[in-house]
Amino acid sequence: MQTLLDQTIARTADQLLRQLSTGAYHHAKVKIWLFEDMAKRQAMQAELAAVGVQARVFSAYKPLLHFFLEEVDHASLQGARVQYPRHPACVSNRFLLEAYPLTGLFPGIDIQFTEGPDATGQSYYQVALSYADRTEDRRIFAPNVFSKDFLNLDVYAPSAWLKVTGGGHEHDAHMLSEYQLAFHAVMTAVVQHGWGHREPYFSQLHITMSLPGIERALLYGHERLSTTEAMHEDIYFSLLEFFQQHSGRAPGNRGLQPGQIVPGIHLDNQQGTARVRVMVDAESAIHSRSAMADSVPPDQDQNPLCGDASDLALVDGPFAPALVGQSLQSFAGMHFAFASKQGRFVNGVHRQGVLPAVLISGAQHANETSGVVGAIRAATHLQDNPDAHFVLVPIENPDGYAMHQSLCALYPTHMHHAARYTALGDDLEYREHAPWFERDARNHAFEASHAQLHLNLHGYPSHEWTRPCTGYVPRGFELWSLPKGFFLILRYRPDYKEIADRLLEHVMQQLSSNADLIAYNAKQLQCYQRYATSAPFDVRHGIPYTTAEASNQTPGVTLITEFPDETIYGDDFIFAHTVQMQTVLLATEWWWENFGKKPK
């Protein structure tokens, strides 16, 4: 293991307390913006007040939302008009997105948003509050700094800030907090390292941080404020972006194989310092006894179940690998297993019959877990048909799935997108060359069955996805920054277009009879449309969807499901995998009855 960085960074809040507690600031008025939770900010205000400094300490992360949570009298508030700022380096609704989910948190209050003019100076929200007996106008500072990032792209990103007036002091400027310094330290260490030009560049790249910050659940859906989660997301995707550039690939290229990036971001509000480490494991493979124990082929699995699979409909959380392997044993057919990069197994079963074959798969992106249960539940019903013909591969990416389980042990409500791709760092669907590892399972499924319909079950974040150190909005994934209900993506070869369109129409029309799903979608779409000024998708029968021609894909038709399942449990998870199951059953049964054969 090679260490690229091991750095301790002083906590900015404590540094400021020491600086401002000196006699020189006794008659000053101070305003501070930090990536700290409310308890720490209130404690700072009290400590400074005790030494004669009039101070207010605000959140640099989502300042408008914190203003409404911490300063507004909600009990008598009737309405609010919010004009949000714009900046030429940002998408036009960037600061509107930062207000999410304000209207959901205060459903009884009439909150309206209007777009402000572009400005290259400091950014402010203009807020007009309406009460029964009065009105108030407030100006909420959104501390952001324009800069060039590690890709030389324009970035307007949230920043810590210090304003001091009076007592002989005039200061109004941004500062780099430990939160920002930790991010920049990691990126600098990685960018400046000599990686060579042959992929993969490492087996694992470990980024470990202990940081103060915010971790707060909100009373709306699955929303939460988490600077810890945001750092995980920003570090992971920023590193992918760097290695895409380093390799000479286009931005967003999913065939990139840098190796496995492993962020370990830990909230620590007790220490006076933050610690950041970057370590590289250059070994060609990683195996562990615990990993292999849950990774044997299904016909050899002797491990105890990690849950009760007697009624799949009641499974209220992601499967452990042993439970998946055990579930597959109930299926008659040709069982197969292919080794992943890290030595786990991609388990599948080919149930042969006279009907046209269908491939059902889950966990291509391993932090999207409802499709795993949904796929197995659907196949359990389909096998009752004696003529059924399908291939079932519930977990296509077991290495990512194992990482996801490990990360969730510490933070079960975080998205953990570092577990999204394989141990090679690529998206297995876009793998470009041998060794194929886990992609062998999908290749085998198509070769053995000649399936022309692939039902590929996915998910996406059930709460807001942010990247505050690189401009707030997740670059390249803007569509998925907010939940918008159960979503379908249809891809087809040109000669299958008519069949694909008819399949999609049938599935959506039948799903529309699920009143709970349509109500769920309507609520999420309504909220999404308040904050996303454009919707790059269509909605039919209450289901959002997109379609695209995919000339080079193996099957004639691919139907991708997207349920906002990342971080959900209990009844919400059961609802998610039930919808996944229903979609598979509707699509497969229609395919078998109507257009299973290749068109003439």
Distance CA 538, CA 98 (A): 24
SS3 state at 230: helix
Residue 341, amino acid: K
Half-sphere exposure of 208 (CA within 13 A, CB side): 13
Query: Model confidence over 539-594: pLDDT tens digits?
Result: 999 999 999 999 999 999 999 999 999 999 999 999 999 999 999 999 999 999 98
**How far is the C-alpha of 45 from the C-alpha of 29, rounded, in Å?**
11
- pTM of the shown model: 0.94
Q: Which helix (H) or strand (E) holds 583?
A: helix 570-590
Residues 421-450 have pLDDT tens digits of: 999 999 999 999 999 999 999 999 999 999
Confidence at residue 595, expressed as pLDDT on a 0 to 100 scale: 65
Q: Is 548 exposed, middle or buried (0-12, 13-18, 19+ CB in 10 A)?
A: exposed
**Per-residue pLDDT tens digits for 35-92:** 999 999 999 999 999 999 999 999 999 999 999 999 999 889 999 999 999 999 999 9
Structural domain boundaries in the chain: 12-177, 323-329+362-428+440-446+453-595
Confidence of residue 319 (pLDDT cuts 50, 70, 90): confident
Burial class (CB in 10 A: 0-12, 13-18, 19+), 114: exposed
Q: Is 224 helix (H, G, I), strand (E, B) or coil?
A: strand
Give the tens place of pLDDT for each residue, 219-271.
999 999 999 999 999 999 999 999 999 999 999 999 999 999 999 999 999 99
pLDDT above 60 (res 283): no
Determine the Cα–Cα distance for residues 501 and 505; give it in Å rounded to an integer: 6
Q: Which two tokens stand for residue 177?
A: 């907090």
Report yes or no: 125 and 85 within 8 Å, Cβ to Cβ: yes
The DSSP line for 311-325 is -GGG--SPPPHHHHH
Confidence of residue 282 (pLDDT cuts 50, 70, 90): low
In degrees rounded to 5, what are phi and psi of residue 291?
Answer: -65, -45
Tokens of 581: 């199951």
Cα separation, 343 vs 424, in Å, equals 12
Segment among 23-27, 88-92, 462-466 with least mean pLDDT: 23-27
**What is the per-residue pLDDT across 119-143, written as a single tens digit (0 to 9) for each?**
889 999 999 999 999 999 999 999 9
pLDDT at 402: 96
Give the DSSP H/E element, type plus range, for residue 457: strand 453-461
| Averaged pLDDT score across all residues of the chain | 93
CATH of domain 323-329+362-428+440-446+453-595: 3.40.630
Query: What is the reported pLDDT for 447?
Result: 98
CA gap 487, 481 in Å, rounded: 14
Place of tokens 């919707």: 535
